[in-house]
Amino acid sequence: MRFKDHHIISMTSFSKDMIDHILETAEKMEPIARGKQKSDLLSGKVLAVLFFEPSTRTRMSFETAMYRLGGNVLNLGSIDASSIAKGETLADTIRVVDSYADAIVLRHPKEGAARLASEFSAIPILNAGDGAGHHPTQTLLDLYTIKRESQLEGLKIALVGDLKYGRTVHSLCYALSLYGAQITMISPRELRMPEEIINDLENRGAKVTELDSIEEAINDVDVLYMTRIQKERFPDPAEFQKVANRLKITPDLLKNVRPELRIMHPLPRVNEIHPEVDKTVHACYFKQAFYGVPVRMALVALVLGAMK
């Protein structure tokens, strides 16, 4: 399977075979990600990291992935300290950075920014989140987590929270449709999954149900995938206040659930998962954050042609 020189922009262009290959490669990377084995697979390679929005996990797990494989990282750093603050366009920034590095990781507040960047880049662009658009590398680590902590085939999953602006859930549900998942969408009415995505999913053969509360679904699913209501995406702060604090997981809610239920969250969380839930067998969001390292190691190694 050829990934060399491919841009990673959206999950809509991935086949099940492509995803399975990345997940299998990530499994091979796990001992290196845990620091139990050494590797110089990406020695001499440079990954440029351009983040126009805040990040902890995506940025640092890409950087860790590169260091664990013996490669180097070139971080643009703060936007205010770069020439973007002088008005340089994204296109010009990409044209310049592609002559300094072997691949570019880009996070940007505008939907479509990664695709635009790919039109100006001779090296692979890895979309690390484009506004309310897509977050494909998060999806790959989510699938890896589900494979490790639950099961991918025949999965029943509830996506909870901000399904309108949530790029993680937009990307994830396209991938889940390839595995025949039964997808339940739970959100405030104002933050429903966009109709065009639901139509796409149904056209791809997915079974989609929409509900209003976690209680209605909690005993019927293998995975509850929580998301944050993203204050920063609301044009009007008053609209945010209307929907904040509606969907939460508390220890009480988990009293009678099956031990196999897994709770995931791309993080950061604000208050949608009570900290007491962290101690339960259901919580797997911190493991999920770790799995970003082997998955991103696999992706970078594949697009740079260091693995096939």
- Which of 10, 25, 93, 138 forms a contact with ligand CP (CB under 6 A)? 138
- Yes or no: say if 139 and 129 are a contact pair by the CB < 8 Å rule: no
Answer yes or no whether residue 267 interacts with ligand CP by CB under 6 A. Answer: yes
Total interface residues for ligand CP by CB under 6 A: 9
* Exposed e or buried b per residue across 153-188, where buried means at least 16 C-beta atoms within 10 angstroms of its C-beta: eebebbbbbbbbbbbbbbbbbbbbbbbebbbbbbbb
Could you identify the residue written with the tokens 């595995």? 179
- Yes or no: say if 253 and 229 are a contact pair by the CB < 8 Å rule: no
Answer yes or no whether residue 121 interacts with ligand CP by CB under 6 A. Answer: no
How many Å apart are CA 270 and CA 288, to the nearest integer?
Answer: 17
Q: Which stretch binds ligand CP (CB under 6 A): 51-59, 188-196, 204-212, 249-257?
A: 51-59
- Yes or no: say if 65 and 301 are a contact pair by the CB < 8 Å rule: no
Answer yes or no whether residue 227 interacts with ligand CP by CB under 6 A. Answer: no
Answer yes or no whether residue 266 interacts with ligand CP by CB under 6 A. Answer: yes
∠ CA 57-58-61, nearest 5°, is: 75
Q: Which stretch binds ligand CP (CB under 6 A): 52-60, 113-121, 189-197, 200-208?
A: 52-60
Site for ligand CP in 165-224 (CB under 6 A): none
- To ligand CP, the closest distance from the beta carbon of 6 in angstroms equals 21
Answer yes or no whether residue 280 interacts with ligand CP by CB under 6 A. Answer: no
Site for ligand CP in 54-73 (CB under 6 A): 55-58
Residues that bind ligand CP (CB under 6 A): 55-58, 129, 138, 266-268
